[in-house]
Amino acid sequence: MTAARNIQRLVYLVGFLDLAAVMLIIPLFVVHLRRIGMSPLVSGAVRSFYGILQLVSCPLVGRSSDKYGRRPLLLLGLALSAMGYFVLGASDSLLVMVVSRIITGIFKHTITLCKAVLADVTAPEDRQGVLGTFNGAVGLAFIVGPIIGGHLTELQDGFSRVCYITAAVFTLNFVLCFVFLPGVLPAPQPGRAKPRHTPVPRESDKEESSEEHLVIGQDKGHLSQEQIDIGQLEQKDSRQFVQEEQSLEDQPVPDQLDTKLTEAETLKQVFHFIKDIDWQVFGDVFMIDFFLTFAAFAYRSSFVLSVDEMFDASPKTIGYIISFQGIVGAVAGFFTGKLSQFYNDSQLELFHSSVLQVLSLLGLTLAPTVSSILILLVPLCISDTIIRTSVSTIVINRCDPLKIGSVTGFGQSIPAVAGMTTPILTGLAQEITVYGPGIMASLSAGIGATLAGYMVMKKKPKVE
């Protein structure tokens, strides 16, 4: 157990350093693009392209880690990410920046692979606590990173310096994993059968934030091909959330996977996956989830650029504002369970939180000062947290227990789609007016809130 514990501590450190380094750059990346002459539309296209690469490459990286092991893929990703961020800081050329984003978009799956390593070395009954600690470390990085990045960016050639520091941190992570992460991971418990490798789920698109999860299930000593985190649900006697595990028993184990599937065969699997969903039962909640998620992503993807244009905010100020959002979201998570217990009706809770999102986005779009932005970010962050939990609860309550995996797996693709589409769409809206992204986000949230209200009136029952 000592070896496994040491690996867990190593992964906590690597995960924290990884996201802290990314958050040095990401919040101010769009401002830098504008200052070197890129229009909001081109900037959005660059960021959308990154999201597409992440979504496409994640299954390939996951399958490769099943076949060749976590360590080689993790080392490769860290080394190429370091190179990508170094290239990003070395030139103001659009072509060079696109090349750097291609490199990181394809190979940067550090957080997902770290969670897979934790699952490999942790006993099933301990995984929730271990992954919770890891998420806490990553959440801390989300708060600390933007502040440090904001201060550094204000220095002469600040953005280049931040890119070089980020590349140095990834290099440090590479050295740590090369030296301390063994090629053959120790078994989670003495005497318990352990497969060689565990699978990696698809990654949502946000920039490896705080929103991705990995929960591993077990069946007769073998890990299933795909494991689904069905979100955080309130317990009736506790404010804490639990993560449900669901093994897809009809899927082959990793050693049986055909690693030479063609693109057409992969698409067939995706269409079969979508066809498996009972849209009469889940269509409304997935539609609501899409519009509300799109609204949140649309506002946040243009937030930095909007604040910079409207208030001429310094990078330091922007960094503090982004960190403030992380703090509010983290605090809100602790009270979501009690709120759900108070409502005892997830559909009504979703409706009210969606209305709160609409009002917050309208206020933020028309906010006259940075202070008013800070005040209105509080209800927005709270509503986002409640919406994620409410949607997960509704889906689970309606779902046949034998189909939880496939249904929630499809639900996890919604943020990925929103993450790919919002940067370019909000960039186009911002070309028209600085208020464009806020108006687009408010309209999308309004549609989601209207559908949520209609759902409350219909009250779909749980599937028996």
pLDDT tens profile 338-350 = 887 888 888 999 9
Between residues 39 and 28, the one the model is more confident about: 39
Mean pLDDT of the chain, nearest integer:
77
pLDDT given at position 332: 82
Average pLDDT over residues 273-287: 77
pLDDT in tens, 296-338: 999 988 888 888 888 888 888 888 998 898 888 888 877 877 8
Which region among 66-75, 127-136, 398-407 has the lowest average model confidence (pLDDT)?
398-407
**What is the domain partition of the chain in residue ranges?**
2-223, 279-458
Does this chain's domain 2-223 share its CATH topology with 279-458?
Answer: yes
pLDDT given at position 414: 74
Superfamily of domain 2-223, CATH level 4:
MFS general substrate transporter like domains (1.20.1250.20)
CA distances (Å), origin 459, targets 80, 117, 162, 285, 347: 50, 42, 51, 11, 8
pLDDT in tens, 8-32: 999 999 999 999 999 898 767 877 8
Q: Is the pLDDT of residue 182 over 60?
A: yes
CB distance 383 to 360 below 8 Å:
yes
pLDDT given at position 47: 82
Q: Is the pLDDT of residue 440 over 90?
A: yes
pLDDT given at position 360: 96
Average pLDDT over residues 362-376: 93
Q: Determine whether domain 279-458 maps to CATH 1.20.1250.20.
A: yes
pLDDT in tens, 117-126: 988 888 888 8
CB distance 226 to 251 below 8 Å:
yes
Which region among 94-103, 267-276, 358-367, 432-441 has the lowest average model confidence (pLDDT)?
267-276
pLDDT given at position 395: 81
